Each structure stands twice: as C-alpha cells, then as structure tokens.
C-alpha cells in the first residue's frame, strides 16, 4: 500500500479545480474523514488522516480518484455489441427508452444483483441524492436522468459494501463515476479491493456535463425564472437545457448561458460514453423513445441478454454510431 494521503489528492485535484465530484474518495476513506459539503467544488478533509496523522499506510482516496491521471485520449467508443432498445413495460419517468431501468429491474428481480447504487431525487425539491436501492418498485420510481446530479454518488457504495455487506451490486453512474469504479476493480490497494470485488455490473450513462443543484435549480430556475422545483416535470439536455413544467409550459435555455451552473470539474472531462463501463447507455444514436446501449464486456452482454430473454427489454431500430462519435469528439476537444 502507498503512503499517499489526502494532502497529495488535494494538491493534485482539489486545488486544481479538476474534481468531478464522483464521491469515490468520500466513500473509501476508512476514517470517514472526507466530506463534500453543499455545493462545494471539491471535498474537504475534516482534520484526521490515517496516513498523515498516524503513519498507517492508506492512500485509498488518492488511488481511487479518476482525476489524478492525465486525461485519457478520446476515440475509445469501442464495444463488443451495440443495440437500440427500450423497456417492454411501462416506465413512467424514463429518460430515453427506459432500457436502463428494464435491465437493472430484471437483474434485481431475478436475483442477479442484490442492490443498485444510483442517484435519485426528492420529487418536491428536485434535490438529487445518492441512494442504495434493493426493491424493483423503488427502481421504477427512480427512472429518469438527474442532470443536476452533483452529489457524491459513491457514498452510497460505502453503505452497500461496509454496512450492508452486499457482494452483488450494480452501479449506475456517469463516466467519472465509472472511472472511479474501474480503479477500484483494478487496484492493488487492500482498502479498495472489497469495493471492486462487490461490484458486479457497472452501467455508464453518456454525459456531456452536469449542473450544480444550487446554481441551476435554486439560482437560475427559481430566482431568475420564478420556477419552483416542484413545478418542473422533466429536464432534458439536447444541445440546450429543456425544462418541461407540470402545467404543460416549457422553457429552453442555451447551454452557453448556463456555463456558470456547470460543475467546474466537467471542463476537463473527455469521456462521453463511459468507456470503462460494462454497458453504456445514452439517448444520442437512438430514435426518440429508445436508448442506445453500447455493450463493452461479456458481463454487460450477459445482463442485456437476460433482460431480452425475460421479455423485459426489446430491441427498437438501429444505432447511429457516427452521431455518438461526433459528440464524443466534440466533448474531448472542448476539454
Ligand atoms: C448528467 C447526465 C448527462 C447526460 N448527458 C447525456 C448526453 O449528453 N447525451 C446522451 O445521449 N445521453 C446523456 N445522458 C444519458 C440519458 O439522459 C439517459 O440517462 C440514458 O439515455 C438512459 O436512458 P433510459 O431511459 O434507458 O434510462 P432510465 O430507464 O430513465 O434510467 C436511468 C437510471 O439512471 C439513474 N440516474 C439518473 N441520473 C443519474 C445520475 N446523475 N447518476 C447516476 N445515475 C443516475 C436513475 O436512477 C435510473 O435508474 C445523460 C445522463 C445524465 C445523468
Ligand atoms: S474526482 Fe472523485 S475521487 Fe477525485 S477528488 Fe473528486 S470526488 Fe474525490
Ligand atoms: S462531464 Fe464528466 S466530470 Fe462532468 S459529470 Fe459528466 S462524466 Fe462527470
């Protein structure tokens, strides 16, 4: 194990404004000494560190962070299969075709996984929260994308692995979260291995950027446009932010007007399609009402096949790979 500690992570990531907010360092700190508070741009240490305070080898926070390495090169849209698919049953809040919900719901109900770590939200305040889900009904309620997701998603992984002792976990996350899980799975650090071993399936959501809750929902939408969080029916990003309201009205905001609401850490992110996932899912490349699925690993293929065989997932049309590659290239060159 290394003797790196949070001060190395602070110098390499927190102080440079490149933290993505994935929450992995928060989750794996064995002393629970790293926190992300409110709308902060990076975590803080609360004053204790095993390595620095007691000279006990640790380095967990440094080893798990996806931002300590230089940006990975773009152009890795490779996959072993790709398909356009949708849920074969009603998923009321689905963002695209509901394929992610269908695959994970089947995995839960068939006993292929015990628990799902993902992001849900309070339907009244639209405030996102990291959550551990073990029931199909809760998963169905959680469908849809949280673009204002900035919460330490992986903190729920600590609850799953350390407190609840689950060993067959599915994680749904944006690419920075997926990169952190990949580091857990590949790490030789004894403190990270239990996390890597407990994750059975990683589903990555395509991602161009994410918004800070306070700045977008409380600031821009509520204070500037007079929209209360509970009036929002759905958010979508399609070259601009689309805000659909419960009363049928809608508001469209160009992304260039929302730059101050985007998490600073997103500016250095080059990964659109979560290349380290078992299975990646997005809207682009599929017809409206369907989800693009890029199958990266035999594990990902197994979960897709299981849902198709059970009649919970169905194919719908072809995938336009060139549209995905264009957007991936644009994101990488922006970074
Ligand atoms: C921040 C963000 C940015 C995105 N940007 C793009 C983009 O630029 N282009 C594109 O094609 N697609 C993008 N997507 C993906 C897209 O919005 C859909 O999530 C994807 O197409 C899957 O749709 P679905 O209907 O199959 O998923 P659903 O069946 O609706 O299920 C979605 C699942 O994801 C979980 N979830 C929602 N938000 C988050 C989150 N923030 N982190 C972790 N888990 C979450 C939910 O709990 C649910 O289980 C983005 C998603 C997010 C969260
Ligand atoms: S990118 Fe993730 S692991 Fe790295 S400092 Fe930020 S929250 Fe922690
Ligand atoms: S753009 Fe990158 S850093 Fe930002 S939320 Fe998406 S995957 Fe994470």
DSSP string, 6-18: HHHHHHHTGGGT-
Angle (nearest 5°) at CA 94 between 88 and 100: 65
In whole angstroms, what is the distance from residue 154 CA to residue 131 CA?
9
329 C-alpha to ligand 2 centroid (Å): 24
Q: Which contiguous run of DSSP H or E holds residue 301?
A: helix 298-309
281 touches 53 (CB < 8 A) = no
pLDDT tens digits, one per residue of 206-241: 999 999 888 899 889 999 999 999 999 999 988 889
Output the pLDDT for position 1: 52
- Specify the pLDDT at position 36: 87
State the distance from the centre of ligand 3 to the C-alpha of 179, rounded, in angstroms. Answer: 10
Instruction: For residue 206, give the ligand nearest its CA.
Output: 1
Report yes or no: 284 and 89 within 8 Å, Cβ to Cβ. no
Q: What is d(CA 241, CA 28) in angstroms, rounded to the nearest whole number? A: 34
The finding on whether 66 has its CB within 6 A of some atom of ligand 2 is: yes
For ligand 2, the distance from its centroid to the CA atom of residue 224, given in whole angstroms, is: 31
- The residues of the chain scoring below 50 in pLDDT are 74
What is the DSSP secondary structure assignment for residue 327, as one 8-state letter? H
C-beta of 263 in contact with ligand 2 (< 6 A): no
- Tell me the longest C-alpha to C-alpha distance in the chain: 59
Domains and CATH numbers, the chain: 6-64 (3.30.70), 81-209+265-334 (no CATH), 213-262 (3.10.450)
Kindly tell me the sign of the dihedral angle through the C-alpha atoms of 80, 106, 95, 276.
negative
Helix (H) or strand (E) holding 105: helix 99-109
Is residue 299 within 8 A of residue 233, CB to CB? The reply is no
Ligand 3 site, residue 274, Cβ cutoff 6 A: no
pLDDT given for residue 109 in this prediction: 96
Q: In degrees to the nearest 10, what's the CA dihedral of 120, 271, 45, 40?
A: -60
**R_g over Cα of the chain:** 19
Of 172, 271, 330, best ligand 3 pocket probe by most atoms within 8 Å of the beta carbon: 271
Phi-psi region of 104 (alpha: psi -120 to 50; beta: other; left: phi over 0): alpha
Q: Are 61 and 303 in contact (CB under 8 A)?
A: no
From ligand 3's centre to the CA of 103, what distance in Å?
A: 23
H runs (alpha helix) in 199-240: 213
pLDDT of residue 150: 65
Give pLDDT, residue 147.
81
**b/e 85-94 (16+ beta carbons within 10 angstroms → b):** bbbbeebeeb
pLDDT at 72: 59
């Amino acid at each position: 194990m290394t003797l790196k500690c949070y001060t190395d992570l602070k110098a390499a990531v927190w102080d440079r404004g490149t933290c993505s907010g994935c929450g992995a360092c928060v989750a794996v700190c064995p002393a629970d000494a790293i926190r992300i508070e409110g709308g902060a741009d990076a975590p803080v240490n609360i004053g204790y560190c095993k390595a620095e305070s007691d000279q006990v080898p640790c380095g967990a926070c440094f080893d798990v962070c996806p931002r300590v390495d230089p940006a990975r090169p773009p152009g890795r849209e490779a996959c072993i299969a790709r398909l356009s698919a949708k849920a074969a049953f009603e998923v009321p809040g689905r963002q695209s075709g509901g394929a992610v919900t269908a695959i994970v719901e089947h995995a839960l109900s068939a006993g292929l996984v015990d628990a799902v770590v993902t992001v849900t939200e309070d339907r009244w305040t639209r405030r996102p929260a990291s959550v551990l889900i073990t029931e199909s009904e809760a998963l169905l309620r959680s469908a849809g994308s949280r673009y204002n997701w900035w919460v330490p998603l992986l903190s729920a992984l600590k609850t799953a692995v350390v407190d609840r002792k689950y060993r067959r976990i599915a994680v749904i996350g944006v690419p920075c979260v997926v990169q952190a899980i990949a580091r857990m799975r590949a790490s030789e650090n004894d403190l990270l291995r239990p996390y890597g071993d407990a994750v059975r399936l990683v589903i990555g959501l395509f991602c161009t950027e994410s918004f800070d809750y306070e700045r977008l929902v409380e600031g821009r939408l509520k204070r500037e446009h007079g929209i209360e969080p509970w009036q929002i029916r759905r958010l979508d990003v399609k070259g601009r932010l689309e805000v659909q309201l419960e009363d049928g009205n809608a508001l469209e905001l160009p992304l260039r007007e929302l730059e101050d609401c985007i998490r600073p850490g997103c500016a250095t992110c080059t990964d659109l399609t979560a290349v380290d996932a078992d299975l990646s899912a997005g809207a682009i490349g599929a017809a409206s009402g369907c989800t693009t699925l890029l199958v990266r690993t035999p594990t990902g293929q197994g979960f897709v096949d299981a849902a198709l065989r059970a009649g919970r997932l169905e194919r719908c049309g072809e995938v336009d790979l060139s549209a995905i590659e264009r957007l991936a290239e644009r994101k990488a060159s922006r970074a």
